[in-house]
Each structure stands twice: as C-alpha cells, then as structure tokens.
Structure 1
Amino acid sequence: MLTDCLRSQYNLVINKKKAYRFCQELGVLHSQRKKQVQHPRRLARNHTITGSNQLWQLDIKYGYVAGYGQFFFLADMIDVFDRTIVGYHLGSSCSAKSVCSMVKRALEQRIAPGAAMPIIRTDNGPQFVSRAFGELAQQAGFVHERIPPKTPNMNAYIESFHATLEHWVLRKEQFETFDEAFHAVEEFMDFYNNRKMHGSLARRSPADFMAWVSEQKPDLTRFQRAV
C-alpha cells in the first residue's frame, strides 16, 4: 500500500521491495508480531504399546445423507492395543467443543481415578489444534501428539477402522435422513466393539479380548504393538 501511495502521489518508479529497503534504512519498520503458541505442538514418535489405554488414535470421518444432500461427521477414537472404539461423536457438524466433550467422556469411562492417562494422537485438523483441545489436554493430563502432514500411516489404526466403516456401511447404504445414518453407524459401532472378531486379538472381539485379559491374565507379549 505504501508503494502504491508513493507511485500515486510522487510518480515514482518503485516496487515494494525497494520501498521496504528504504523503510528499513530509515528505521521506521515495526517489529514483526511474534506468534504466541499457547499449547506447544508435540510430534508423534514411536512407542511400544503393551496394554490398553496407552495410546488412542483420534480422527474425523465424513458420511453423506443423500436425502438432504449434506454431509455428516463422525469423530471417533480407537485404542490401538485392544482395538476398542473408546468414544465417538456423530453430528451434522463437528466443532472442537464436540470433540472435547467426546474425549472427556471416554476418559471418564475408561480411565480409573489416579491411573495413567493415554497418549492421544491426531492429525492437524482445526478441531485438534484448537485452544479448547489444548486446554483439555492440559486439564485432563494426557499427552496430545500430532502426526506430521501427509503421514496417515502414523494414525493407521483409526484409518483402518474408517476404511472398514466405509466398506461395510457408508458405501453400501444410501441414507435419506440423518437419523437413518446415525442409527446405521451406531449399530456398526456396537458390532465392531462387541462381536467383530479380529485376527490380531486371537480371533476375539475387542470386548471379549479385554474380558479374556482381565480374567485369564495371559502373557501379552505377542500382542505388543510398535506404533
């Protein structure tokens, strides 16, 4: 804008780089504002997961309601050890507040008072880089890891679940209403957590696997995950 003013008022042949250099020499430039980072970013790193509630992966998936010509949102979170979907939010929108409420409920349901908090890993979506999510991490005491851009393999467990959901529900059914879509997703969540057998869980569902671990207390070495 200063360059345009100089051209207009004084008929100078000047570009913005030269105008900047003159301002620099005259010492009239304002110092650049420093970006204030309220909650520092923690990059995801490799972990060896030996039990439940050590690492949860969180992401957002989109579905389509053909009857309204609109999308709906599913924010969900998986425990990478026992493959349980520990919490999810379904809605026609998905704000940071909604995601925080879902995470808070999951922590209350899965983590006993005084027990160690899980690491929660996400991508860099606006809900996850928000101040609200950073404040929740600080208040609840969990570590929030964010994967680098274009590395969905670092969130492979939740990405795999979304591919399964897409194949068995979202691609097969055409929804006329939001209620119809939400009911289908909720039914699949119940099936996935309580009845779907996983080869990686010794052909047990997540619920059966957790009950087996609790009752039999087997050697879990073969179920360790490097994530």
Structure 2
Amino acid sequence: MLDRLAHSRGLPQVIRTDYGKEFCGRAMVVWAHVRGVQLRLIQPGKPSQNVYVESFNSRLRDEYLNEHWFPTLLNARTEIERWRREYNEDRPKKAIGGMTRAAYA
C-alpha cells in the first residue's frame, strides 16, 4: 500500500503516526528506513498532535463506514474512494472561507 502511494505521489520526508502496532512494527520501520523516510510518533494520549488525520478518520467512520455494508473488498475500495473524493474535492471547508479545496487550489 505505501509503495503504491509513494509511486503515485512520491515519498514523503516524514510520516507522523500514532502508536498503533501497524505503524510501530518491524515491517514499517524497515520500510521507512530503506526509503529514507523518517517516522515520527505522536505522544500517547495526544490525538491533537495528529488532528487532521484523526478528524478525517472520525468523519470517514461516522459518515460512511458505520452506515454502509460492502459485499466485496473491491466494492468497499470503490465506494470509499468515491466518498474520499467528495470529502476532499467537493465539500466546502470552513478553514478556507467555505470554498471547496478544488476551488481554493
């Protein structure tokens, strides 16, 4: 997954995560080291240090995942991508004066 993302968007210099075992495990540490990506972990119990990701994950879960059932993994990927595009491109954002990100860019 991370290699596909890196291929389409390029490698980041830093990845900030919480202490989830998927982010602290050997595979992630080795992946980052081999590619020269620095891992930064937020302090335990401080989700405010990763507020944008926490906000997005909360909205995804509350607005979409809890409301839908996906019969296949392909269906889940397709539908979640549709929601993500709407969230990122079509939804007005207060932080940029009520404009969509597409209009702001």
Cα distance between partner residues in 2 of 1:186 and 1:136: 25
Residues 1:204 and 2:96 aligned together: no
Aligned-partner Cα distance in 1 for 2:77–2:4: 19
In 2, the alpha carbon distance for the partners of 1:191 and 1:199 equals 16
The structure with the largest strand share of the pair is: 1
4+ residue stretches of structure 1 with deviation over 4 A? none
Q: Gapped runs of 5+ residues in structure 1?
A: 1-101, 213-227
Is structure 2 residue 47 aligned with structure 1 residue 148? no
Please state how far the C-alpha of 1:110 moved relative to its aligned partner.
2.0
Structure 2 stretches lacking a partner, 5+ long: none
Q: In structure 2, do the counterparts of structure 1 residues 124 and 192 end up closer, same or farther at CA, with 3 Å as the change threshold?
A: same
Cα shift readout 1:110-135 (whole Å, capped 9, x = no counterpart)? 238xxxx4321111112111121111
- C-alpha separation in 2, matches of 1:198 and 1:118: 27
Task: Write the deviation string for residues 19-74 of structure 1: whole angstroms up to 9, x where unpaired.
Answer: xxxxxxxxxxxxxxxxxxxxxxxxxxxxxxxxxxxxxxxxxxxxxxxxxxxxxxxx
Q: 1:187 to 1:176 in 2, by over 3 A?
A: closer
Q: In the alignment, residue 100 of structure 2 is paired with which amino acid?
A: R
Paired residues in the alignment total 103
Q: Name the residue aligned to 1:161.
A: 56
Larger fraction in helix: 2
Q: Conserved in 2, the CA contact under 8 Å of 1:121 and 1:155?
A: yes
Question: TM-score with structure 1 length normalisation?
Answer: 0.40
